[in-house]
Amino acid sequence: MRRTKHIFVTGGVVSSLGKGLTSASIGLLLERRGLSVRMQKFDPYINVDPGTMSPYQHGEVYVLDDGSETDLDLGHYERFTNSPLTRDSNWTTGQIYQQVIRKERQGVFLGQTVQVIPHITNEIKAAIAKLAGEDVDVVITEIGGTVGDIESQPFLEAIRQFALDVGKENCLYIHLTLIPYLRAADELKTKPTQHSVGQLRQIGIQPDILICRTEKALGSEERAKIALFCNVPIEAVIEERDKEFSIYEVPLSLMERGLDELIVRRLGLRTPKPQMDDWLELLQKIRNPKYEVSIAVVGKYAEHRDAYKSIYEALDHGGIANHTQVHIQRIQTQVVEREGAERVLTGFDGILVPGGFGERGIEGKIQAIRFAREKRVPFFGICLGMQCAVIEFARHVLGWKEANSTEFNKETPYPVICLMDEQWNITDKGGTMRLGAKPALLVPGTRSAECYQTDVVWERHRHRYEVNPQFEEVLAGAGLQVAATSPDRKLIEIVEIPSHPWFVGVQFHPEFKSKPTAPHPLFVGFVRAALARRQAVSGKGPVSAESLAASH
């Protein structure tokens, strides 16, 4: 019988070290060795999921096919690996406690005192064990937060116990840490790492491998020092430098430092060397773009680097497919409101308005969309961005000045965006939107159908409001066409302006289904349109898809 191996990834010294990216890279390298991998993340905060958290606090909420609202690191997992992700792939302290408390109310614990150890830790261990199985070689479990945080303790205790349950030889502990560079001393400092590993060892976890994030190369002297003080062999001190070009370089650089080899050896897995040809080709393309475009992403949370994470990644993927480097400019809606769309947006080759909630920033989005529509700049509207495109069209083409979404004005005489039946009477905020993968039927002959090259697509949703079908005919009559609907034709999933070079609004989130090796067709189409515009404006004439293909 195949025994599933477990890798636990913890982090120390500071947060935001790129644990998610590193875990995803490990997953990728193991998959490329022919192993079947499952990925999961534990988040020590008490919210049940990030769905109700502000993007300022949490960054993007990443939605899975099954409708779970998860941490953005799961986006890295999906972009790098083929591990199927479900509700079982992301657990928070809130969810763990919710389960335990539910059981307590059901009387499952038969009169025992319910405690962190063993009840909470058992629940955590069950969540880890759930991913193991006959067809799984390796489960990678990332522990969010930083060693030393009070709220991380039960998770660390659980992963320590886990090795006792399944055997030490089946578990591997990887600790990601920071080696800061002190300019005044012109030195890399290993002390914070020593302390962080010291704390792990106090809990009873001796890390097997240290991955050291650093801006300068780690010398053999520093590696030896870290190895000695942290009680690991020197070959297990792996350097991970900041990447110059792209996050997609991380797996290769870890491979070059021997990480995957070390992991399989330690876990006793016999596998061939990783098959990385397509990945190398991908990096080749990333490093040598033939063209460039600049895209404005106009959003309420644009100043936050991670608020639209998957959108930025998907734009990059669309660029890679077109041999194009995409320069993304994050623009806050308030800036458009203050300075005017013309001033802020002139010169961009494409404008993207992402999703969002609440009224703030709406007018800036509408101005940006009006600018894109009137100046014929390629436009991509996603979720709220699409809803704003419909409002903009109703206001400025149909002349319905008060057109709005009932999310922002319940009394509008033109509720072009409104709640559909199933969203009435819902009062709970968490997990109650229209969530997860749903099918959509594409209208043949539309730009979207041309991009997708198929009739039915499954895309992920996260919204309450919808385009009001009552207005479909009038909008279409004025030039805003429906390009996809739900299979029962009740919900409008894509709108387009056929007379515009590229104006597409989607009710769903295509960015969650884009991978560097499988770029999303709509992002490919959008970047291609932006490139065509740039070349037309610079007088070189538009580049056709065929000429792009022919030149490579």
CA distance 211 to 213: 6
For the bound state, the minimum distance from the C-beta of residue 433 to ligand GLN, rounded and expressed in Å, comes to 6
Q: Which is nearer to ligand GLN, 137 or 407 (CB)?
A: 407
Binding residues (CB under 6 A) for ligand GLN: these are 355-357, 383-384, 407, 462-465
Taking the complex as a whole, the smallest distance from the CB of residue 299 to ligand GLN amounts, in Å, to 10
Q: Nearest-CA neighbor of 458 among 81, 67, 40, 90?
A: 67
**Tokens standing for residue 27:** 């997953």
Residue 281 among the catalytic residues:
no
The residue (of 52 and 535) whose beta carbon lies closer to ligand GLN is 52
d(CA 173, CA 158): 13
Q: What angle do the packed helices 191-203 and 153-166 form, to 10 degrees?
A: 60
Minimum CB distance to ligand GLN, residue 463 (Å): 3
Residue pair 178/192 in contact (Cβ under 8 Å)? The answer is: yes
Q: Name the active-site residue from 76, 461, 509, 520.
A: 509
Asked if residues 345 and 318 have their Cβ atoms less than 8 Å apart, the reply is: no
Q: How far is the CB of 426 from ligand GLN (least distance, A)?
A: 11
Positive or negative, the Cα torsion across 97, 101, 102, 104?
positive
Residue number closest to ligand GLN, CB atom? 355
Is position 383 annotated as part of the catalytic site? yes
> How far is 501 from 527, CA to CA, in rounded Å?
12
The residue annotated as part of the active site, out of 383, 388, 418, 451, is 383
Helix extents (H) in 355-414:
362-374, 384-396
User: Alpha-carbon distance 514 to 520, whole Å?
Assistant: 5
Q: 3-class SS at 512?
A: helix
Phi and psi based region of residue 216 (left: phi greater than 0; alpha: psi -120 to 50; beta: remaining) = beta
How many angstroms separate the Cα of 216 from the Cα of each of 174, 179, 211, 222, 430?
A: 21, 9, 14, 11, 43
Q: Are 529 and 502 in contact (CB under 8 A)?
A: yes
CB of 177 to ligand GLN, least distance (A): 36
Q: Which is nearer to ligand GLN, 240 or 313 (CB)?
A: 313
Q: Which residue has the tokens 């610079």?
A: 538
Compare residues 42 and 465 and give the one whose CB is closer to ligand GLN: 465
Q: How far is the CB of 355 from ligand GLN (least distance, A)?
A: 3
Tell me 406's DSSP state. T
Minimal distance, residue 505 CB to ligand GLN, in Å: 11
Q: Which residues of 220-241 are buried (b: 16+ CB within 10 A; e: fewer)?
A: eebbebbbeebebeeebbbbbb
Cβ-based nearer residue to ligand GLN, 338 or 360:
360
Shorter beta-carbon distance to ligand GLN: residue 18 or 355: 355
Q: What minimum distance in Å lies between the beta carbon of 515 and ligand GLN?
A: 21
Q: CB under 8 Å to 5, separation ≥6 — which residues?
A: 137, 138, 139, 170, 171, 172, 267, 269
CB 456 within 8 A of CB 440: yes
Based on CB atoms, which residue is closest to ligand GLN, 39 or 417?
Answer: 417
Residue 511 annotated to the active site:
yes
Closest CA to 189 of 18, 26, 22, 14: 14
Residue 399, phi then psi, degrees to nearest 5 = 80, 20
Q: How many CB atoms lie within 10 A of CB 277?
A: 9
- For residues 70-105, one letter each, b for 16 or more C-beta atoms within 10 angstroms of the residue's C-beta and e for the rest, the string is bbbbbbbbbbbbebebbeebbbbbbbbbebbeeeee
Minimum separation from the CB atom of position 462 to ligand GLN (A): 5
Which residue's CB is nearer to ligand GLN, number 293 or number 307?
A: 307
Q: Least distance in Å: CB of 429 to ligand GLN?
A: 11
Question: Which amino acid, residue 436?
Answer: G
Tell me the closest approach of the beta carbon of residue 466 to ligand GLN, in angstroms. Answer: 7
Return the number of the residue (5 or 460) whose C-beta is nearest ligand GLN: 460
Contact call for residues 513 and 495 (beta carbons, < 8 A): no
Nearer to ligand GLN, 260 or 466 (CB): 466
Q: Which is nearer to ligand GLN, 336 or 384 (CB)?
A: 384
Q: Is 177 helix (H, G, I), strand (E, B) or coil?
A: strand
Active site residues: 383, 509, 511
